[in-house]
Structure formats: C-alpha cells, structure tokens
C-alpha cells in the first residue's frame, strides 16, 4: 500500500481501522507500537482537526484503494467466474454464499498466503501458512519439492481468530488434508481418490464419505463439489488474471459458490477445500493434484 513518506512521525488512528487505537508512524512506515486512544487528552494523540494534510491525503488514498479492490473482486466474481449476485449471508467465512480466495502474487512462492473476500469485496478472512522453518523456506526456494513436505495452514476470520487448521502431510502419489478445529478436534479429511485422470477428492468423516470434489478437466482448474448423494452443492472456479501473470507468478485466485445452506461437518470441509485448493490439493505440477 502506498503511503506518503512526507507524513511526519507521530501517533495516528490505526490504518487497519481498529477503533480507539493509535499506531506510531515513524515517518517511513507503520510500526508495531500502539497506544489506546482515549480522547483529546491521550498522550501523543493528534486531534483530528490537527492532522497533517499529508495524512488526510493518505486516508483518502487508502479509502480509494479499498474501493478499487472491492470493484476488482466484484468483476472477478461476476465477469471472470460468471457468478451472478447472490443474497448476502452473515458476513463470515461460514455464512456467505460466495467466497473469493485470492493468493498474494509472488514470483517465488516460499510461503502461502491468501485473502478471502465476500462477493462485494469486503475482507472476511485469510489463510496463512504456519510452522515453516528458515531451512524449509530455503529448500522451497532451491527446488520444487512442495509435495514431499508437510504443510500446515490456519484459516482466520477478519479479526485474525483461527477457525480451522489444515494439515497436508507429505505426499508421494496421493494427497490428503486433515481439517481440525483450533482445539485439535478433527472435523474430517479431504482425501485424493485417484492419481490418473481427472482428480477427485473425497470428504471423509469417521471413515464415511459425505461428499467429494471433482475436477472438471485434466488441468483441474475448476471443481464441482457434491454431497453424499452426488448432488452438486458448491462450485470452485479459477479466475484468470491474464496469461502473462499466470505464467510468471504463482498467484491463484478462486471463487467458491455455495448453492444451498450446508451444515457441519460438510460446510467446514467445503470451505476448507475452497480456501486451500491450490496449496493443499493442487500443489505440484500446477494442475495434477
């Protein structure tokens, strides 16, 4: 995010929008130092009317960027994924009928990080890879060996609270993802069912299959999600950012459309699959699972 470097150092309202919180701007970047805002008399607080013109310009630019990001997500949903406007849900990862999953573009992928939006472009969560040592990052930099490593991701809401943890053990032929609650309780597993042809994954709970993900072409860009009766309940669609960007970066963007209200454990497994379809299910060879 671009920030005017001529903004003087000082305490300013938190740029992340946290109410009643000031954050220290050192003249070049935001720091980790925060201070509770308690009205005009708070130590170091700059009253709103005295804020510099540069900072007000920064706030305006930040607002404009949010508007542009929201418009981009809306185009991604409606034009690229072909998903029409759906009735809004409860504003969470598990209550919205449409989730937009966008990986941060990186030329070299050593950690996986995704932002999750609703269909209007509002941020409602994130997916972050955790538990990587410096050595593991170095190995990922030097060689394409992701499929032989164990990966762990956290699914967080907009406030950073963890709702699911996803572990993909090292794979050799077939892949699986273990989906758990933050307290370690297992929700189920997403298990690869075949190694040749269109890749399919089963949702397994206590040894019983309650649904599946079915790739629709050999490159496995798009997936249909079905319940135990083989009825489609959701769909994952890859949205392209242009051929050049797709060729030279590892960013993958997806839209999840849930057709009807689902209950757990199927709901959590569907959301987990959509949020990790690239990292966990389609890790190696960019399309063969």
Does residue 109 carry a pLDDT above 50? no
Average pLDDT over residues 109-119: 77
Is 28 a domain residue? yes
Does residue 289 carry a pLDDT above 60? no
Q: Do 260 and 220 share a structural domain?
A: yes
Cα gap 214→192, rounded to integer Å: 10
Most confident of 111-115, 159-163, 196-200: 159-163
Is 77 a domain residue? no
Local confidence band at 161 (pLDDT 50, 70, 90 cut-offs): very high
Cα gap 242→79, rounded to integer Å: 13
Average pLDDT over residues 24-51: 62
Q: Do 234 and 123 share a structural domain?
A: yes
Alpha-carbon separation of residue 151 from 147, 154, 213 (angstroms): 9, 10, 20
Asked if residues 117 and 257 have their Cβ atoms less than 8 Å apart, the reply is no
Q: Do 167 and 235 share a structural domain?
A: yes
pLDDT above 70 covers a percentage of the chain that reads 69
119-159 tens-digit pLDDT: 999 999 999 888 754 444 444 444 444 555 678 899 999 88
Is 274 a domain residue? yes
Q: Do 60 and 134 share a structural domain?
A: no
Does residue 243 carry a pLDDT above 80? no
- Choosing from 70, 97, 121, the residue where a domain stops is 70
Is 261 a domain residue? yes
Cα gap 34→17, rounded to integer Å: 13
Is 80 a domain residue? no
3-state helix, strand, coil in the chain (%, to 5): 25, 35, 45
pLDDT the model gives residue 248: 41
φ and ψ of 253, to 5 deg: -125, 140
Question: 7-11, 37-41, 57-61, 265-269: lowest mean pLDDT where?
Answer: 37-41
Is 42 a domain residue? yes
pLDDT the model gives residue 70: 87
Q: Which domain holds residue 236?
A: 86-286
Most confident of 28-32, 197-201, 236-240: 236-240
Q: Do 120 and 59 share a structural domain?
A: no
Q: Do 108 and 57 share a structural domain?
A: no
Average pLDDT over residues 215-242: 84
Q: Do 267 and 182 share a structural domain?
A: yes
Is 81 a domain residue? no
Q: Do 281 and 196 share a structural domain?
A: yes
Helix (H) or strand (E) holding 117: strand 113-117
Local confidence band at 84 (pLDDT 50, 70, 90 cut-offs): confident
Cα gap 211→228, rounded to integer Å: 5
Local confidence band at 198 (pLDDT 50, 70, 90 cut-offs): confident
* Bond prior to 265 in cis (omega within 30° of 0): yes
Question: 67-76, 254-263, 266-275: lowest mean pLDDT where?
Answer: 67-76
Does residue 225 carry a pLDDT above 50? yes
Higher pLDDT, 94 or 241: 94
Q: Do 207 and 92 share a structural domain?
A: yes
**Residue from 4, 34, 2 nearest 21 by CA:** 34
Report the domain count for the chain: 2
Is 279 a domain residue? yes
Q: Do 100 and 210 share a structural domain?
A: yes
**Residue from 163, 215, 157 nearest 187 by CA:** 163
Q: Do 203 and 275 share a structural domain?
A: yes
pLDDT the model gives residue 132: 58
Q: Do 228 and 127 share a structural domain?
A: yes
Burial of 220 (0-12, 13-18, 19+ CB in 10 A): buried
């Amino acid at each position: 995010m671009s920030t005017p470097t001529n903004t003087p150092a000082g305490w300013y309202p938190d740029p992340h929008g946290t109410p009643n919180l000031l954050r220290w701007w050192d003249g070049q970047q935001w720091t980790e130092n925060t201070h509770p805002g308690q009205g005009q008399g708070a130590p170091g607080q700059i009253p709103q009317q005295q804020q510099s013109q540069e900072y007000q310009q920064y706030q305006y630019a930040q607002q404009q960027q949010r508007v542009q990001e929201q418009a981009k997500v809306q185009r991604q949903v409606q034009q690229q994924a072909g998903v029409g406007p759906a009735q809004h849900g409860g504003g969470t990862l598990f209550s919205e009928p449409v989730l937009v999953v966008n990986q941060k573009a990186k030329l070299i992928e050593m950690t996986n990080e995704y932002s999750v939006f609703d269909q209007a472009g509002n941020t409602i969560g994130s997916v972050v890879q955790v538990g990587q040592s410096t050595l593991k990052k170095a190995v990922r930099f030097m060689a394409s060996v992701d499929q032989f490593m164990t990966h762990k991701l956290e699914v967080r809401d907009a406030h950073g609270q963890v709702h699911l943890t996803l572990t993909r053990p090292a794979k050799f032929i077939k892949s699986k993802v273990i989906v758990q609650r933050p307290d370690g309780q297992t929700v189920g597993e997403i298990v690869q069912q075949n190694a040749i042809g269109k890749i399919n994954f089963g949702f397994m709970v206590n040894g019983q299959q309650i649904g599946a993900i079915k790739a629709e072409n050999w490159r496995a860009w798009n997936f249909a999600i079905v319940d135990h009766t083989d009825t489609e309940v959701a769909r994952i669609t890859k949205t392209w950012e242009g051929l050049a960007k797709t060729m030279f970066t590892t960013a993958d963007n997806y839209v999840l459309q849930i057709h009807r209200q689902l209950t757990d454990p199927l709901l959590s497994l569907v959301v987990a699959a959509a949020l990790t379809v690239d990292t966990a299910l389609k890790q190696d060879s960019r399309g063969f699972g």
